[in-house]
Structure 1
Amino acid sequence: MPVWICATCVNHYPESDTPPASCVICDDERQWVPSTGQRWTTLAELGAAGHTLEVREIEPGLVGLGVEPGLGINQRGLLVRTPKGNLLWDPPGFLDEAAVRAVRELGGLHAVSSSHPHMYGAAVEWSRAFDVPVLLAEDDLSWVTRPDPAIRPWSGSLSVLPGVTLVQCGGHFPGSSVLHWADGADGAGALLTGDTIYVTPGQDRVTFLWSAPNMLPLPERLVRQVVSAVRPYEFDRVYGGWWTSVLDRDAKRVVERCADRYVQFLRGDAPER
């Protein structure tokens, strides 16, 4: 029986003869169902259609994994490499034997994790390929669409590997999280944020959203909560959920400044220009 994959968000659902009636992720107001209706696919169908996983070094110790041609939300996963093991962050929804071989050649996996439910992707498939745990925020476990014994809940913060820490921020989802990589950005520190902290197209600002596709803002209380959660960590760079979502320098200051500006608009205090 196939694993069913929502073609819109690319979350995986349990093996079954027939697909689910709907995708609980896309039915939520933070996502969307196409006007043509719910559609399902499988790994075999995606492979036959020519989808592959592109593996690309981003900086020393950090490798990007993206599906080509693009698929669903089309997040680019990130493999954080350390001498004690590798962590796969925000895994995309497709993998095949070639992708598994490529990651094995890079040192394999110690664990898999995700920023929030939209980006759980093929986490369980990666877990099974390497026999490693899937680390998911406890507050978001109700959104897991493919339950598995490998899923391990955590909350607050969790040191996964030396210099690699999961940090719960809330906001987009109660369990929305970032990954702090102390050795990133040449030792200045980097945050891997998915869209918990959303890097804007100019790659010089960030924003905070309840829903990106439906253009729903995040309340001030939650914006402050996100910024407060990352404040104890040093970081000069932010890697968002896509290839071009990178804030390359001075990131901690930019996050604070953009949060203040965002709140100005929420309050109606932003000056007219």
Structure 2
Amino acid sequence: MSPYNLNETESLLVCVACGTQFPTSDRNTLKTCLICDDPRQYIPPPQQSFTTLADIRSKHKNTFTPFPNNPSLISISTTPKLAIGQRAILVKTPAGNILWDCLTLVDEDTVSEIKENHGGLHGIVISHPHYYSTHVEWADAFNCPVYLAVEDKQWVVRTSEKQVFLDGGKTETPIEIGGVDTGIKVIKLGGHFPGSLTLLYSSNLLIADTLMTTPSAISNFSVNALSEPRTRPKGVNTYAFMWSIPNYIPLSANEIIRMWGILKEYDFAATYGAFEWQNVEGDDVKGRVLQSMQIQTRYMGYGEHPFLHTLF
């Protein structure tokens, strides 16, 4: 196999809104982005527009930020903000490294940083199509597989032999590197997209926006303005469960309850969402997921639903 050439595909068109790379450089043939035309996403005004990886590389860079309370996780973000603005998370295991979600920008500095300072990259897991970005470029740069949900295959616009589509009949997929178990479990919850994924590693649940972390999730309710002790107010949520995040369309009560039926079987003490501020840690995190599901169910008009009496 010939070495990956970072510059070979830098003229391919990239959607400005979502950061997805398409397999063409011809602006006359690519006039819209199927991911942004889907009602879960949107096209910003004034119109659909495209850029290239070459242009992105001239204006942006990736930054690496270790998680303060978790040495096995490193956040990777693009500055200034690019497209949706999500972060990727490098998950470091004794068996090797897995990238959770993906960024559009991949360049020599990023590849060098991961290979030389973090032990390389051995696989990529992407939560849902809004973060498909340039995952084929990443997979080629590191010669590694990229795991996607088969239910969401219709939104793949660049194909590659490195793409591995997770079985539609499986809720849980352990991730191995060279036949060695990493300890990572990919859990398919659905909801936002039919195949929306989460990743569980060492009691850390990486959720992207399969569970959408809300601003009240990070509120300090432990003290009041005079630093006096207090408790978290009743009825304040930590997560929302959305079919479309930017267009504010919630999931149905039945879908939320189905998702809990899967998630209740797993233990976790932290969730890490798609953006830098979306870190929720503590022994009560799993209970806060259930409480948030019950809050949303109640205010969608199901005040008498038996699910509201489900206990953690």
Normalising by structure 1, what TM-score?
Answer: 0.93
Which moved further from structure 2: 214-223 or 156-165?
Answer: 156-165
Q: Name the SS for the 2:207 alignment partner.
A: strand
Map of 1:1-273 to 2, 5 A cutoff? Answer: 2-18=11-27, 20-49=30-59, 51-58=60-67, 59-105=70-116, 106-155=118-167, 156=170, 157-161=172-176, 162-182=182-202, 189-204=203-218, 205-249=238-282, 250-267=284-301, 269=303
Q: Name the SS for the 2:216 alignment partner.
A: coil
CA RMSD of aligned residues (A): 1.4
Q: What is the distance in 2 between the residues matched to 1:218 and 1:48?
A: 39
Query: 1:30 offset after TM fit, Å?
Result: 0.4
Q: What is the distance in 2 between the residues matched to 1:13 and 1:222?
A: 32
Matched residue pairs, number? 263
Query: 1:268 offset after TM fit, Å?
Result: 5.2
Q: Name the SS for the 1:255 alignment partner.
A: helix
Question: What is the one-letter code of the residue matched to 1:126?
Answer: W
- Residues 75-100 of structure 1: per-residue CA shift (max 9 Å, x gap): 00001001101110111111110001
Question: What is the one-letter code of the residue matched to 1:160?
Answer: I
- Residues 194-223 of structure 1: per-residue CA shift (max 9 Å, x gap): 100111123241110011110111111111
Q: What is the distance in 2 between the residues matched to 1:226 and 1:11?
A: 27
Q: What is the distance in 1 between the residues matched to 2:264 and 2:122?
A: 27
Paired-residue identity, %:
34
Q: In the alignment, is the contact (CA less than 8 A) between 2:24 and 2:30 conserved in 1?
A: no
Query: 1:12 offset after TM fit, Å?
Result: 1.3
Query: 1:269 offset after TM fit, Å?
Result: 2.8
Unmatched 5+ stretches in structure 1: 183-188
Question: What is the one-letter code of the residue matched to 2:113?
Answer: A
Normalising by structure 2, what TM-score?
Answer: 0.81
Q: In the alignment, is the contact (CA less than 8 A) between 2:16 and 2:83 conserved in 1?
A: yes
Q: Work out which of the two has the higher radius of gyration on C-alpha atoms and give 1 or 2.
A: 2
Query: 1:154 offset after TM fit, Å?
Result: 0.6
- Residues 118-161 of structure 1: per-residue CA shift (max 9 Å, x gap): 01122111100111111000110111121111111113221004
Q: Name the SS for the 2:198 alignment partner.
A: strand
Q: In the alignment, is the contact (CA less than 8 A) between 2:65 and 2:74 conserved in 1?
A: yes
Q: What is the distance in 2 between the residues matched to 1:147 and 1:226?
A: 29
